[in-house]
Every structure is written in structure tokens, then in C-alpha cells.
Amino acid sequence: MLLIVLSPLGIALSAACEQPVNPPIPSIPQLIQQVQARQKQLEKVRENYTYTALQTTQDVDSSGRVKKTESKEFQAFFVHGHQIQRLVKKDGQPLSAHDEEKESQRVQKLVTKAEQTPPDQPLQGQNLTVSRLLEIMEVQNPRLVSFRGRPTIVFSFVGRKGAHTHGLAEDISKKLGGTIWIDRADLQVARLEVHFNDTFRFAGGLLASIQKGTTFSFDQAPVQGTLWLPTGAEGMLQGRVLLFKGIRQRIQERDSGYQVFHVQAMPVHASAVGPSARP
């Protein structure tokens, strides 16, 4: 009976010993270079796709109670590495004809500007790309974990104060710290969490400020086979405008409905982008 009990156990132990051992975590500089290369490839591939971005913004008080909720639905796409978002609905309602024309004009101007702006430089007022953030951060404490059922390398980071930056978004990055999850097999960014280590002041605080404690997160996943694309983002914004008005907002974005598309030259009163006939 003892042999009968131990025999399956021995088989299981033998099988466990035969499982491949995860290779050691590569050096941080090597890992960052590999991830940067993959992320830049991904950002080029994204230019072939359009998707729906549903953003929900809640104004909350100091106790976290919701005072106001607003939703916006965008048709999002990329031009020359820059994200363009075309507003199509507000609080679930399509835009009026007048607002749609104004939005078309705004998007057309952004497309033109994006075509003239290098991919490694953010458009005015736009967020920092993941690949650019990887270039201007310092990392530490790498470790191997299981994330969403996949082997993942996790490490902490802080903005490199001496990094050469372009524009306001990259200047802000020097105030950031956080955690990043790298899928071990695909070397893609699966999740990014950032927080402000210090208050960032616009014009010395006279115009506005983003307060210490503001947090944001960003997620990517293989949504079409092995193709990694953004799936959503969340944030808690705390700030102040013109020294008087305090801002406390909970922000959520869900990205879905990816389809192949093409950018086409169209009159300003028409859509600036359109889905391709290909599936």
C-alpha cells in the first residue's frame, strides 16, 4: 500500500523536476532596451488600428463621495506615433451637427500637426508614451512574479531628474515614480502604475498644480492573438486651478472594438478617419 501511495507521488516529483527552470532576469539595461524596442514596434503597429475609448470622469469630494459624473466616447487612432481622439458621444448622446463640425476641424488640425511632429516628441498637451517613459526613468528592485497567469518581471521606477525632456508632459515625468509589469515571454508592458512623488506647478503654481499623491495606471494585453494593445487606464487626479479651485477627479478609460483602418484626406465637415473594408 505504501508503494502504491508513493508511486504517483514519485512520478509527480519527477515531472516537477523536469519542468524547465525560468532563466535568470536579464540585466536591467538589457531588459529596458528589449522592452523599448518591442514597445516602439507596438506603437507602429497601432497606427493600423482604430478603437473606441470610453472615458468616465467623476468629481468627488474629500470623502470620496461622487458629486458629478461625465462620460465621453472617442474614436481613437494614431498618426506618426501620436494618439488622436475624436469625440463622438458625450454622456451617451451623439454630438450635434454644429459640435461635430467643430470636432472634425479640431481633429484635422491635430492630424496635420502629428504628421509634422517626431514620434519621440509628444504633441502639446498630450500624455507621455510608454516607450518614451522607459527612456527617461531609473529602475530598481526587479523580481519575477505571475501576473494574469503569465510569468512577469516587475520593477519599481522613478523619473530620472537629469533626463533631457521635450515639452510639459516629459517635464512632469521627472516627478513620477511607480511600478511596471513586463510580460516575460513577449517583453511587452502589461501594466504601468505611476504616482506623483511631488507637486508639479504650472507657472509657479499661479495657473494650476497637480498635487502629490495623484495616481494613474495603464493596461495592455494581447487582444488579437499575440498583438498587444491598450485595454484601459484609471487615475485619481488631485490638483488646483488658479490658486483657488480644487480638483479631485476619479478617471477611468476602457478601450475596445479594435479594427483595421486608414487615415484619409477628407473635407473638415466629414470624418477624419474611417474603418477599412478589411476585417
One pLDDT digit (tens) per residue for the chain, 279 residues: 333 333 333 333 333 333 334 667 777 778 888 888 888 888 788 888 899 999 999 999 878 899 999 999 999 998 888 889 999 999 999 999 999 999 999 999 999 998 888 876 766 655 566 777 777 788 888 889 999 999 999 989 887 776 666 666 666 666 778 999 999 989 899 999 988 877 766 555 455 677 788 898 999 998 877 788 889 999 998 887 665 567 889 999 999 999 887 544 333 333 333 333 333
Predicted model pTM: 0.73
Asked whether 181 and 149 are in contact (CB, 8 A), the reply is no
Amino acid in the structure at residue 93: Q
Which among 97, 46, 90, 93 has a CA at the least distance from the CA of 72?
90
Distance CA 57, CA 103 (A): 20
Burial of 85 (0-12, 13-18, 19+ CB in 10 A): middle
All structural domains of the chain, each given as residue ranges with its CATH number in brackets, are 27-275 (2.50.20)
